Amino acid sequence: MSKDIKITKGLDIKLRGEAEKTTEKAIISNFFTIRPEDFHGVTPKLIAKQGAKVKAGEPLFYDKSDETVKFVSPVSGEIIDIARGEKRRILSIKVQADKEQTYVDYGKFDDNANAEAIKSHLLASGCWPFIKQRPYDIIAKPDKMPKAIFVSGYSTAPLAADLNYTLKGKEAELQAAINALGKLTNGKVHICVGKTGQSPFEGLSGITLHKVSGPHPAGNVGTQINKIDPVNKGEVVWTVAAQDLVIIGELLLTGKFNAERIVALVGSSVKKPRYFVTKIGSEVATMVYDNGVDKDGNDRIISGNVLSGKQVKPDGSLDYYSNTITVIPEGDDYELFGWNKPVFNKISTSRALTFSWMSPNKKYELDTNTNGEHRAFVMTGSYEEVFPLDMYPLQMLKACMYQDLDEMEVLGMYEVAPEDFALTEFVCVSKQPHQAIIRKGLDLMIKEIGL
């Protein structure tokens, strides 16, 4: 049974620098970097040594708490650097790519295989980390049976890559991935697509399709879970990003771990924003600087979207889960009387001499300035306007801050991920770090309550 979802609470943040719908091949990156910090809660144990030769799809490390969860190299080449931080924590693993790519052959996958076989196949081939779970927003625990699997085929985040465009022509891969994942749950595979536009998901079988409309965060999988089949205590749902289904599907069809992905290069600092074909872990410099970002400019490069992406250095790389690179100006400058003068060039949900309400369709060029200082929570009611989940955001944040596990549990902490609090963080007049607060709260629950 499909169910249409209409979101009314939320906020579409319209920014300049939307990607034009043309795709080109990115310059092939010489180096590929995998950063264990992309996988929250994973303690990496190295398999490959420095100087070793690896093929694409060959394991680099595994998760200390679950040896079956393997993380593989996106390309074939030589491991040239393993950077370590405090207490010898592994920061990154850098692979120098071969000119000729070679792949580990995991073999074509039998469609009739049972759940156990699918699971071990995905675990061994490095596709497992694409599957995340709620509660806690971490890589799914393979030994748990999810009550449902959710995929959002609709992105509403500011300047996000249009999935209808990037997934076009990938129907076969998507179907293969869905067939396999569908066997891992005794519930449904829920796919949400936008109400308008032609989604490649629409013709697929074995799914429950939902049409979503409304402002951001309508496209967030957390919003969709809350509206379709919310997570109760003791239940688990899995989520997979739509673009990662393609990698899973290709592995099942061809036996190759092909880390290729279409990425949108967006943001007001990009002269010609558009799409690129590239691979997980490739250097952002291969896309960013040759395409209109000023090399000496004072810009911030973000792997992901402006709300929950990660800041990367100019020599940084595309992270494991992102299909967007955003470049926006840094805002490290003072503004004279910024707190009381009328504001025309920034977005606001209030009308306190802020005028973005007068032109709802205007596209803005926002920088990274916080527009004010960090303060205690004072205002109330503003988060609820942009928070469509059926729970109390302010109370939840406070419960996380005073670390009341019982209260966090009953308020709905099992259902949320940090990204669900990105909009409340954006509108917060007290400039509180909502996503970090929620992440800390979730980590505390993992530690105290356990998985």
By CB under 8 A, what part of segment 6-25 binds another protein? 13, 15
416 near another protein (CB under 8 A)? no
Instruction: Give min distance, CB of 448 to another protein, in A.
Output: 19
297 near another protein (CB under 8 A)? no
| Alpha helices in 150-272, H assignment, sequence order | 163-166, 171-182, 221-228, 242-254
H or E segment to which residue 253 belongs: helix 242-254
Decide whether 96 or 371 has the Cβ nearer to another protein.
371
Decide whether 135 or 412 has the Cβ nearer to another protein.
412
Give the span between the Cα atoms of 405 and 274, in whole angstroms. 45
Lay out the site mask for another protein across 370-389 (x = CB under 8 A, - = otherwise). xxxxxxxxxxxxx-x-----
Decide whether 59 or 433 has the Cβ nearer to another protein.
433
Site size for another protein (CB under 8 A): 77
Instruction: Give min distance, CB of 51 to another protein, in A.
Output: 34
Decide whether 21 or 357 has the Cβ nearer to another protein.
357
Q: Identify which range of 22-30, 78-86, 110-118, 368-376 contacts another protein by CB under 8 A.
A: 368-376
Cβ-in-10-Å burial (0-12, 13-18, 19+) of 19 comes to buried
Lay out the site mask for another protein across 422-451 (x = CB under 8 A, - = otherwise). x--xxxxxxx-xxxx---------------
Name the token pair of 205: 């079988």
Name the token pair of 256: 């190759």
Kindly list the distances between the CA atom of residue 399 and the CA atoms of 2, 230, 361, 420, in Å, as whole numbers in the listed order.
Answer: 35, 20, 36, 16
367 near another protein (CB under 8 A)? yes
Residues 143-162 that bind another protein (CB under 8 A): 158
Residues 319-338 that bind another protein (CB under 8 A): 326, 328, 330-338
Cβ-in-10-Å burial (0-12, 13-18, 19+) of 255 comes to middle
> Strand order in 148-152's β-sheet?
5-6, 208-213, 188-194, 148-152, 237-240, 131-134, 138-139
On the CB side of 387, CA atoms within 13 Å amount to: 27
Q: Which of 366, 400, 408, 416 binds another protein (CB under 8 A)?
A: 366
Residues 70-129 that bind another protein (CB under 8 A): none
Q: Are strands 237-240 and 310-312 parallel, antiparallel or unpaired?
A: unpaired
Give the span between the Cα atoms of 58 and 362, in whole angstroms. 47
411 near another protein (CB under 8 A)? yes
Instruction: Give min distance, CB of 140 to another protein, in A.
Output: 20
Decide whether 12 or 384 has the Cβ nearer to another protein.
384
Instruction: Give min distance, CB of 217 to another protein, in A.
Output: 12
SS3 state at 156: coil
Residues 201-240 that bind another protein (CB under 8 A): 230, 232-235
39 near another protein (CB under 8 A)? no
Give the span between the Cα atoms of 105 and 251, in whole angstroms. 9
402 near another protein (CB under 8 A)? no
Decide whether 62 or 320 has the Cβ nearer to another protein.
320
Give the span between the Cα atoms of 427 and 356, in whole angstroms. 13
H or E segment to which residue 314 belongs: none
403 near another protein (CB under 8 A)? no
Return all residues near 156 (Cβ < 8 A) that are at least 6 apart: 10, 12, 215, 216, 217, 218, 219, 220
Q: Which of 204, 262, 306, 318 binds another protein (CB under 8 A)?
A: 306
Decide whether 129 or 412 has the Cβ nearer to another protein.
412
Give the span between the Cα atoms of 18 and 328, in whole angstroms. 12
Q: Which of 102, 348, 444, 446 binds another protein (CB under 8 A)?
A: 348
